[in-house]
Structure formats: structure tokens, C-alpha cells
Amino acid sequence: MAAEMALAKSISISKLGNYPKPRIPQTKFFRISMSATSSKPDTKSSSNKGAKKGIKESLLTPRFYTTDFDEMETLFNTDINKNLNEAEFEALLQEFKTDYNQTHFVRNKDFKEAADKMQGPMRQIFVEFLERSCTAEFSGFLLYKELGRRLKKTNPVVAEIFSLMSRDEARHAGFLNKGLSDFNLALDLGFLTKARKYTFFKPKFIFYATYLSEKIGYWRYITIYRHLKNNPEYQLYPIFKYFENWCQDENRHGDFFSALMKAQPQFLNDWKAKLWSRFFCLSVYVTMYLNDCQRSAFYEGIGLDAKEFDMHVIIETNRTTARIFPAVLDVENPEFKRKLDRMVEINTKLLAIGDTDDSGFVKNLKRIPLIAALASELLAAYLMKPIDSGSVDLAEFETQLVY
């Protein structure tokens, strides 16, 4: 899961009560990483061998999620909800049990060699990339693991799919963390589990958000993979060679959320659903765009232009999302990109204020007009004429469709 959702948090949809964090999972792999938890958060990379580290928090860091598990149980209780398309879930279960990537994530000596060759600023940029990716995957692991546990009684099939998806995410996070070990680092995932803040989303928002996260994750990975396949001179680190098979997992995870939403048509078929769909699309796309523009050096390092890369990913994700969300944004309208670019400019200025020597009060004062400008760009983008969309299994336009 590529958690590109931070912005939705900052706009703060819902802060409802104290919902439980997922339990700390007791799988073998993660117990190892929890064993020596002495580091504090924000201890930035000392290059000690095997140093475990926390992660520097900012508005755009990948987040951990929690949800209303009781409501989830009710939603997928087959006695209550007769809309559950069991054939679709059984089919998904088969697909996940097949476990296409059971033997895919095997490392070789090229990893360490490539890491050793990487020096200077690129080394630091790479480490950050691995950390963020690992956190995002691990975030998916925690959420899915807990959902798998909680839904076992009311819907064993859906529960098992969640567990199998957490298997994938654990694999991905573990592989990325091993990548960090090539740089003599390791993310302390056990510590992260306990120490990081969890963002609460109601189930329906979890569906929109994780669907988008998974699908955008697929498009990011496959785009990097296909680009590097064509331009092997930018293949700085072998992890990218694994992306083709890897991202098929992300894509399948997205399909599962698609099925979950189809089983809850109330989240797809009214005007509110359309507004939320647009809102989540916008949050996810903008978060990614701002994030990646701050890290253009990473993309340059692997031969990509961050903005072009992101626009491609946004357009493709949006096309995919139009297969299920009842409305999506008109991201192919050039005006949408112009708005994104203005947001990048504003965000750059905002970040610059943080780096000055002004007092906190002065900084905040200087930020006000910029935040207002950012908000108005966001609102304008949100209000652009949307595109009606949806799965042909539900959409009204289906009867006119020619396949």
C-alpha cells in the first residue's frame, strides 16, 4: 500500500473519539525487529551499523490508519448484508491464495554492491525513499492484519483475504527493510507500531483511501519498472527489477477494495459518494504531487522528471479509478496540472518559511496568506467539472454502453 493520503488528514475529515490502534502483530519477522527498541523517534541517520531509526514526521509522511472495526464487522456480516457478492469474494480468495509472488522476493549480492557504490546526496535520497516505502507498506500490513483478525467471525472469506493481503504487505515491507540494511540501517517497525500516530478513518473512507493507495501504488511501481527496463543505465539499485511482479500485488489489493465497495453500494451511488470520491482523488493526487516535487532529485537520479512521472501516474490511476468511483476528477484537462503546479509553488514558499530564523509567531503570520492561497487552489481544483464514472455492474450509463 502506498499511503499517499496525508492531505486528507490535514483537512481533517473526522476525528471521532478514541479508536483502538491495531494490536501489535506477533509474526516472526516483526518480532525480530521489535527486539531491540532503544532508539528514540527522529534520531536521524547516524551511520552506525544496523542503527534502527524512527522517521521524521511531516505533513506528508506516510501515515498509519485505524478504523471503526465494529462498523466493519457489521458491514461484512453476511446475515445483515445481502448485497455481498460471494462469488466475487471467493474468486478473490482464490487469486490471493494462489500467491503469485511466493518465491519472488529473494535478494542477491547485487543489492549490497549497488548500495556501496551509491555515495553523496543520492545515498541519502535513496535511504529516504526506502524508509518511506517501507513505512507505507508496513502501514498496510498493520491495518489489513487487524481487519483479518476482526472479521474472522462475521465474514471468514473477507477476513482471510485481508490476512493474505497483510502477508503481501509484510513481504514488501520486509524486503524494503532488508534494502535499508544494505545502507547499514533498519527501520524499527515494532517501535513505529507503538509510537506513531494513527489516523482514524471511518470504514467508507478507508475504502476510498486504500483503493486509491493501492492503485496509485501499482501505477507508480509499474511506471518506474517500465522506464528503467528501457533505460537500464539509471538502474541504480536492483530493487526496481522486482517491481513488475511486486506491483501486481498492489493492483490485486485494489481490486479487493473495489469488490468491497461494490458490496456496499451505498458508498457509491449517491451525491455524497460522488463528493467524497472527488475529495479522495484530489487528496491523494495532490499529496503525491507535492511530495514528489519536493523529492525531484530522487526522480532525476533514476532518470525521471518528477512532474511528468506524477502526471502520468495520476492520469492512469484516475482512469482505473473511474471503473469504480461514481465520479472522478478531470485530470486530463490541462487546467488541472496548472493548478497542481501553482500548489507546488505555494508549498515551496511554505517550506522556505520553516527554514528561516524567524520566531514561531512571525513564521505563522507569514504562513497565513500562503495557506489561504493553497486552500483556494485546492477548492478550485475540487470544484472543476467532474467526470461521471463507476463500475458497469452498478452505473446507470451501463445500458448505453457498447463493449
Which positions touch another protein (CB under 8 A)?
82-88, 90-95, 97-100, 102-103, 218, 222-223, 226-227, 229-230, 244-245, 248, 251, 255, 258-259, 262, 304-305, 308-309, 311-312, 315-316, 323-324, 391-394, 398, 401-403
- At position 270, the amino acid (one-letter code) is D
What span, in angstroms and rounded, lies between the C-alpha atoms of 275 and 273?
5
Residue 247 Cβ, how far from another protein at the closest point, in Å?
8
With CA atoms as reference, report the closest residue to 189 among 172, 171, 177, 175.
177
Distant-in-sequence, close-in-space partners of 295: CB < 8 Å, separation ≥ 6: 125, 128, 129, 306
**Which of 383/402 has CB closer to another protein?**
402
CB of 275 to another protein, least distance (A): 22
Q: Which residues are CB-neighbours of 326 under 8 A, at least 6 positions away?
A: 268, 269, 273, 274, 277, 388, 389, 390, 395
Q: Give the nearest distance from C-beta 322 to another protein in angstroms.
A: 9
- Please identify, using beta-carbon distances, which residue of 38 and 230 lies nearer to another protein: 230
Q: Which is nearer to another protein, 86 or 335 (CB)?
A: 86
- Please count the helices (runs of H) and the strands (runs of E) in the chain: 15, 6
Residue 232 vs 369, nearer CB to another protein: 232
Of 267 and 309, the one with the shorter C-beta distance to another protein is: 309
Decide if 166 contacts 152 (C-beta within 8 A): no
**Cβ-Cβ contacts under 8 Å for 322 (sequence gap 6 or more):** 328, 387, 389, 390
Amino acid at 102: Q
Minimum CB distance to another protein smaller for 166 or for 177: 166
Please say whether the beta carbons of 230 and 89 come within 8 A: no
Nearer to another protein, 94 or 359 (CB): 94
User: How near is the Cβ of 332 to another protein at its closest, in Å?
Assistant: 10
Alpha helices, H only, 11-120: 28-34, 69-75, 86-98, 110-117
Q: Which is nearer to another protein, 368 or 402 (CB)?
A: 402
Gyration radius from the chain CA atoms? 21
Minimum distance, C-beta of residue 168 to another protein, in the bound complex (Å): 14
Alpha-carbon span 173 to 180, nearest angstrom? 11
Residues in the chain: 403
